[in-house]
Structure 1
Amino acid sequence: MSQQQGLAPRKAALFLLDKVTTEGKLLSELIGEGALQHLTPEDRARAQRLAIATLRGLARADRMLARFLNKTPPTPVRNVLRLCTVELAGGEAAHGVVNAGVELVARNKRTQSMKGLVNAVLRKVADEGPDGWARLAVPRMPGWLRKPLKDAYGPQVIAAIEAVQFAGAPLDLTVKGDVTAAQAALGGEVLPTGSLRLHDAGQVSSLPGFEAGDWWVQDAAAALPVQIMAPKTGEKILDLCAAPGGKTMQIAAAGAEVTAVDASAGRMARVRENLDRTGLQAKLVTADAFEVTTDGFDAVLLDAPCSATGTIRRHPDLPYAKDGSEFGALIDQQAAMIDHALTLLNPGGRLLYCTCSLLPDEGEVQIDDALARHPGLTVERDALDVPGVDPAWRTEEGGLRLRPDYWAERGGMDGFYIAQLRKPA
């Protein structure tokens, strides 16, 4: 690869980094808005990998760079140094990385005067190499998030979670048909809960079975809520906050009649694309969850808007794009959504509540509070009896608490909370 060929994905990754670190943007938002559309599929994938790897190692990169900087440079230069430091730590050829870093700074009129600094610092980082990188401490979550999680789980658990987050995430697939046949085509490991896990999967759209719609990408933890709900053929099920559609497809594949609701037209378009690719059927409604007033559902799946603090191993931009200030509003919204969802159920119907959060206030506490608000509402503890679920993951009020450090030797899982409620008959 020539230097010019390698510059385009680096420049795009740098754009993503700048937006996340200076404007608090999420990578998913930026990519959804077309930030990488000008690149070839290969360069698009590389730019995304570079940005994710840099964000995951940002604190460690800053620690290494601090040894060679007398003062912190402007953010655009600092992000070039961070990006290149992570590349060098990954074993990329020093000559190409250093030259690319210098070129990126030189192309910006506001930073071109710092070419010499970038060249000198990156050469020192290259001398340290992967060995110097490996000696540095595992990056910690920011204080606004680490403190409440440490209070909830203790310092040892949090350190284990941080180690898994820093290691990154493999790719999990939910297979529409025979998982052993998919494994034969794709390789990987069939997890105890039935998901297929791939390490170093590469470009998803080029994998066998993608075009045929044999599977879809879905973290193993995110696949469990529908397994716990256990939809049946002919049941009428509502999937609130459905995008990007993984759970909708699971419900449809089980033979249920599913209505999927999401407020975002753009995200709903993605649900439609996924359904079309997999040949599954669902009724799609673009609306706010509170605007849905049609009742008579046998079951409602509420994957409520939340802090997403359980997904940092896959989305390392989250700690830099958020500051915890939205927690209170989210918790109030979740409670209101539980109350609303219950009105849409048939008597005796079930509500599957879940969040991809590690915060008990968005999980265990919500269920305790819902039970107090609704006399006769019960938690279905037996619903958690699904293959691969460790009894140690169960919680006192009858839900399931999943953490990133579970299955650490396999690559971990998303942090999730799941509980199934039964409405009085």
Structure 2
Amino acid sequence: MQRNRPGNNDPRHSPDGPRRPARPAVTPRGLPARRVAAYALLDITQERMPLDEALEKQFGQGDGLLLDDRDRALARAIVTSALRRLGTIHAALDERMPKGIPPKSGLLAEILIIGAAQILLLDVPDRAAVDLAVHHAKADRKAFPYSKLVNAVLRRIAESREDILADTSASEGPRWLTERWRKTYGAEVTQAIADAQRHEPGIDITVKSDAAGWAKRLDGLLLPIGSIRLNDRAQVATLPGYDEGEWWVQDVAASLPALLVKPKAGERILDMCAAPGGKTAQLASAGAKVTALDRSAERLKRLSENMSRLKLDVTVVATDARHFSDKPFDAVLLDAPCSATGTIRRHPDVAWTKQPDEIASLTSLQSSLLDHAAKLVAPGGRLVYSTCSLEPEEGEAQVTAFLARHSNFTRSPIEAAEVGGLAESINAQGEVRTLPHYLPNETPRLAGLDGFFVARLVRKDD
């Protein structure tokens, strides 16, 4: 959708324009949540601010201070849904607004996007979505001249809902990312990835033991890899076993790296980039003596809280993993910082907060972390490297370059039986490459998994 860049079109930076009250005398119920959603969407798409940060910023000021928990959840749902289908929404608006967004029209673009998201994707009556969008436009100094346009465009979108949603030709993410995937995976696989990312994912759970029993108790689907996928969305803290620390929430693909470490009771294992702790919990629940590193003390606080609930004993160290020293470990897990493009189905803001140039800087960081990890692996020990990225520079190419630098390491090929028989995820080198459309299911919410890369390496005996 065509629109001006921030600074020309952002009402927070453009005080001039038609004189009009910023707010109606009586604020319609539900409008503050929509305004919060609009500003959060603007921060994500124009300022590249992560979703949680954008929402927290809005919750702490202006309209956000007026929202109760229910309205905050609504604002989050609106923004998340809009981001997940932003390409579809842009295409629908472009078709009905061939001249694009008028210049200096304030929040008009965001008002239309969140209105369309409610009509197309959320359980909001069409009339309520349209009326609130019109009120929203009238309350914005620069958008108010276009309130009739908002009404007309959104009504036309409501009339064509089925046709709009049936057309999956639009790319939901930025063009540069789609083109990258087409080059790497081909057009057909890229389309399958996009289709998977259009659906809200289910909730996956990793259990300490008795996965089949807990699947029954939690009304979940037992996945081949051993995780449980809940049949319905729920407040996880209210479910059986949560307070007792019997399980934790973790995407099934995210459980693979720690699983492929093959931890044994009594082994010393280092988790180099550990927070928030799902993989740490897997290692510790197997009886390993785990040291968990993270450079963020705040994130480690959350990890420690998780370990306390799970009743797991872990050594926690706040430091840059590249500067950590200790005697060699039996195994090291490096789930490295990455572009996170494999998690877009769960975190749709990632598509809009990342830029191509970030991948180069991330691969440099990953290389230095890998080189330091190599020093911390005992002879005969394992090094598992993983990223939640779909970009080969952060996965396959990274491991190939590492092995060229470190002749004392070799691949330990992963077999399909180790990942629940998911043979399509094993590449020719014995590495794991999951893609979002794997694990199909007739119910879209019960299908798919995050995109992950995992390689297992072994240090040769000295």
**TM-score > 0.5 by shorter chain:** yes
1:10 equivalent in alignment to 2:10: no
Residues 1:214 and 2:242 are matched in the alignment:
no
Amino acid aligned to 1:209 = G
Residues 220 and 377 of structure 1: is their aligned pair in 2 closer, same or farther, counting only changes over 3 Å? Answer: same
One-letter amino acid of the counterpart of residue 13, structure 1: A
Judging changes above 3 Å, is the alpha-carbon distance between structure 1 residues 31 and 284 closer, same or farther for their aligned structure 2 residues? Answer: farther
Are 1:364 and 1:397, in contact at CA under 8 Å, matched by a contact in 2? no
1:71 matched to 2:100:
yes
Decide which of 112, 135, 151 is 2:144's aligned counterpart: 112
**Equivalences for 1:52-131 in 2 at 5 Å?**
52-69=80-97, 70-73=99-102, 74=105, 76-90=107-121, 92-131=124-163
- Whether the 8 Å CA contact 1:306–1:355 is kept in 2: the answer is yes
Deviation, 1:35, is: 4.0
Instruction: Report the 3-state secondary structure (helix = DSSP H, G, I; strand = E; otherwise coil) of the residue aligned with 1:326.
Output: helix
Structure 2 residue identity aligned to 1:255: G
What is the aligned counterpart of 2:174 among 142, 167, 170?
Answer: 142
Cα distance between partner residues in 1 of 2:94 and 2:198: 20
Q: Match for residue 329 of structure 1? A: 361
Contact residue 295 and residue 343 of structure 1 kept, 8 A:
no
Q: 2:451 aligns with which of 396, 408, 415?
A: 415
Note if contact 1:168-1:411 (Cα within 8 Å) is conserved in structure 2: no
1:374 equivalent to 2:374? Answer: no
How many angstroms apart in 2 are the aligned matches of 1:130 and 1:382? 44
TM-score by length of 2: 0.85
Deviation of 1:20 (Å): 0.4
| Aligned residue number for residue 74 of structure 2 | 46
2:30 match: secondary structure? helix
Cα–Cα, structure 1 residues 333 and 135, in superposed 2: closer, same or farther, change >3 Å? closer
Matched, 1:248 2:280: yes
Instruction: In structure 1, give the amino acid aligned to 2:181.
Output: L
- Following the alignment from structure 2 to structure 1, what is the Cα–Cα distance between the partners of residues 223 and 427? 22
TM-score under structure 1 length normalisation:
0.92
Distance 1:350 1:50 in 2: 44
Matched position secondary structure for 2:404: helix
Contact 2:329 2:381 in 1 (8 A): yes
1:313 corresponds to 2:345: yes
CA distance in 1, matches of 2:43, 2:273: 26
Q: Which residue of structure 1 aligns with residue 186 of structure 2?
A: 154
**Is the 8 Å Cα contact of residues 403 and 415 (structure 1) preserved in structure 2?**
yes
CA distance in 2, matches of 1:294, 1:229: 19
Residue by residue over 1:264-317, the C-alpha shift from the partner in whole angstroms, topping out at 9 and shown as x without a partner, is 222222212222222222121121111211232111100011111111111111
Secondary structure of 2:356's partner?
coil
Secondary structure of 1:11's aligned partner: helix
- Determine if contact 2:33/2:75 at 8 Å carries over to the other structure: yes
Q: What value does the CA root-mean-square deviation take over the aligned residues?
A: 2.3
3-state SS of 2:242 partner? coil
Q: Percent identity?
A: 39
Structure 1 unaligned blocks of 5 or more:
none
Q: What is the DSSP-based 3-state SS (H/G/I as helix, E as strand, rest coil) of the residue aligned with 1:201?
A: coil
The structural deviation recorded for 1:383 is 6.6
Deviation sequence 1:17-72 (CA, Å, 0-9, x none): 11101101111433566847854443333322221110011111111112332431
Write the distance in 1 (CA, Å) between the matches of 2:305 and 2:146.
45
- Using the alignment, how far apart are the partners of 1:160 and 1:28 within structure 2? 27
